[in-house]
Amino acid sequence: MFGPRTTHTYIFRAALCDSSRQINTDTCVQYMVVGSTCAHAMTQVRQSVVKLLQTPLESEVEVCGWIRSVRISKNTLFVQVHDGSNTSGIQLVQLRKPSCATESDSASSGNAVSGPGTALEVGASVVARGVVKASPTNSQHREVHVNCIQVLGASPSNIYPLQKKYMTPEYLREHLHLRYVAYFPLSTCDTIYCSFPINASTHCLHTHRLRTQRFCCITRIRSAVLLSLQEFLHRSDFTQVTVPVLTPLDCEGGGAVFEVTTKPDGFFSNQKTYLSVSGQLYLEVAAAAFAKVFCLGPTFRAEHSNTTKHLAEFWMLELEMSFAKLQQVMEVCELVIKHVLGYVLRACAEELHTLQHLQGVKLTSLVEHVLCKPFLSMTYCEAVDTLVHEVEAGRAVFQRRPVFGEDLSAEHERYLVEVYCKNTPVFVTRYPGHLKPFYMARNSIDGTAECFDLLFPWVGEVCGGSQRENIHERLLQQMQHHRLHVPSYQWYLQLRQFGSTPHAGWGLGFDRLLMFLTATCNVRDVVLAPRAYDSLTM
């Protein structure tokens, strides 16, 4: 910790943001700082910046973070620092001696800075102690006046890979471990084009805002969504269960699985083992005992899809309800998503505001629109008929013409939800049976699957669900029709022999929902370390 304030007339100014919104007020951390004015040791409770901004004026506080920038104005040194707990951060202020006139001097200004390297450079981690003061600027109502700063970890600028210039998203993905903490503006001539569904027009985005704020905001929103999902489902009497990642089964029956090998071989008695593409089959086991269950975790699909919406490893919320029909789980799906949207609007207003300006889109308005409007519903037949009619009327042009009996493409889905349904999410139900997996119940009249895909603006499909086939004989026939190895699924078949009930469920693509909530064009930018086709960086 730092010693008591001295009479020196320097001011050190910085903006800090912390990586944790919660603090343990019972924990006191003690630092011994090297330097003539920082030689005393004190114990002080460290606060995150988001909490510090609510601290009364004249309170003594300790702040920690990473440097974003360093500048000098006359006899005042300004250093902007971040650590993640909010978007705007906070300023630390320290007046300097008149003899300190250069930025290089500020990096080792005698008794004002101490620690390894002592250089105040972009990316360096620091800790400082001071007094909360009212800020004269309009951007923030608090700042901290400090008398010294300790550099905990240096960040030499001559080897730092992210510089203060425009860098493409592709370049950033090559430095995944740094893109959340990097400081650099977008170029004044940088132009990004993207189609945002709030007005079905093309936006030209010009911005000087820090791209690092984008990734920090996305991460905080992701954390809020995780919390809100679990809280809502627990309050709704759902039981959370954990399902295995290693499995001998291909749940979807599509064959796009990662096969696991071991050294030495034969770990599972030479039985083929895969990374799970879905926890649904195991979740149905739990639903036979707990009635309302859900799981939340990673799933893996080895699809050769190098698109902006596909990952090889992604997170999914899956839910199963016994004694339920398809319509009931559709209603639950809408309730869950709307709860998340409302929670994010309340808890992440600052992050949404930042993303809205950074991305140049009307994000908050779109989220509020989706929250307030009842979700629509149409059958697969109605969807195809609508698309064909729009093409024939000259109102739509698609690369692939919609054809009955074929799956809807991404452009079909987005047209339906963004243009035809005017940005209101829509359930598309009752797809042809041959397009869907073996476990979905079929309509006895026309053979269509009792299922739905939920389409959202900006991303297309975010959720899919179905009525599960609960009749043993029918399920066995569908397994045979899909040419599955029936003995491997014997335990799943037996669920239909002992106390079987009508049941249904769905799976929500967590990362795609994040794309919508953050107006992100590429799903690889809403996860920390994306795993995608032909891409395994970091």
Q: Which two tokens stand for residue 363?
A: 């994000």
**Residue tagged 């037949």 (tokens):** 381
Max mean pLDDT range (63-72, 445-454, 518-527): 445-454
> CA-CA distance, 224 to 335, in Å (whole number)?
17
Answer yes or no: do 185 and 140 share one domain: no
Output the average pLDDT for the chain.
80
Rounded to an integer, the average pLDDT of 30-53 is: 51
- Asked if the structure places residue 29 within a domain, the reply is yes
pLDDT of 73 over the 90 cut: no
- For residue 463, being part of any structural domain is answered with yes
Residue 186: give the domain boundaries: 169-210
Beta carbons of 81 and 48 less than 8 angstroms apart: no
Are 185 and 66 members of one domain?
A: no
Sole residue written with tokens 């909010």: 86
Cβ–Cβ < 8 Å for 401, 391: yes
Same domain (yes/no): 396, 430: yes
The strand pairing partners of 309, in sequence order, are none
Q: Clarify whether residues 20 and 145 are in a common domain.
A: yes
Is residue 138 classed as helix, strand or coil in its secondary structure?
A: coil
Domain presence at residue 158: no
Q: Are 361 and 196 in contact (CB under 8 A)?
A: yes
Query: Alpha-carbon distance 369 to 371, whole Å?
Result: 5
Which residue's structure tokens are 């022999």?
497
**Token output for 333:** 């799906």
How do residues 359-397 score in pLDDT, each as one tens digit?
A: 778 899 999 999 999 999 999 999 999 999 999 999 999
How much is the average pLDDT of 5-33? 35
Instruction: Give the predicted TM-score (pTM) of the model.
Output: 0.77
Q: Select the more confidently predicted residue: 288 or 40.
A: 288
The CATH number covering residue 462 comes to 3.30.930.10
Contacts of 314 (CB under 8 A, 6+ apart): 298, 299, 301, 509, 510, 511, 523, 527
Residue bearing tokens 């990586």: 19
Which residues, other chains included, contact 303 with Cβ-Cβ below 8 Å and sequence gap of 6+? 256, 310, 312, 533
Residues 179-228: tens digit of each pLDDT: 655 544 433 223 222 333 333 332 333 232 334 678 889 999 999 999 99
Residue 427 — φ and ψ, nearest 5°? -85, 125
537, part of any domain: no
Rounded mean pLDDT, 109-132: 70
Contact indicator for 512, 472 with CB cutoff of 8 Å: no
The encoded tokens of residue 147 equal: 């008398």
CA Rg, the chain, in Å?
28
Q: Is residue 162 part of a domain?
A: no
The predicted-structure confidence for 232-247, as pLDDT tens digits, reads as follows 999 999 999 999 999 9
Q: In this structure, are 393 and 267 located in the same domain?
A: yes
Domains identified in the chain, total number: 3
pLDDT at residue 324 in the model: 96
Q: Are residues 420 and 472 in the same domain?
A: yes
149 in Cβ contact with 96 (< 8 Å): no
**Rounded CA gap, 67 and 103, in Å?**
14
Contact (CB, 8 A) for 232 and 319: no
- Inform me whether the pLDDT recorded for 327 exceeds 60: yes
- pLDDT given at position 122: 76
Q: How confident is the model at residue 496 (pLDDT cuts 50, 70, 90)?
A: very high
Please indicate whether residue 252 or residue 158 has the higher confidence score (pLDDT).
158
Range with the poorest average pLDDT among 38-47, 246-255, 273-282, 305-314: 38-47
Query: Which residues are registered as beta bridge partners of 507?
Result: 318, 464
pLDDT, mean of residues 84-89 = 75
Q: How many CA atoms lie within 13 A of 352 on its CB side?
A: 20
Q: Helix, strand, or coil here: 529?
A: coil
341 in the same domain as 196: no
Pairing assessment for the beta strands 142-153 and 91-95 based on DSSP bridges = parallel
Residue 411: strand, helix, or coil: helix
DSSP H or E stretch at residue 147? strand 142-153
Whether 175 and 79 map to the same domain: the answer is no
Same domain, 437 and 306: yes
DSSP 8-state code for residue 86: S
The DSSP-derived string for 161-173 is S--SS---HHHHH
45 and 148, same structural domain? Answer: yes
pLDDT at 156: 82
Q: Is the pLDDT of residue 30 over 60?
A: no
- The letter for the amino acid at 536 is L
In a domain, 164, yes or no: no
pLDDT of residue 116: 54
Residue 480 confidence (pLDDT) above 50: yes
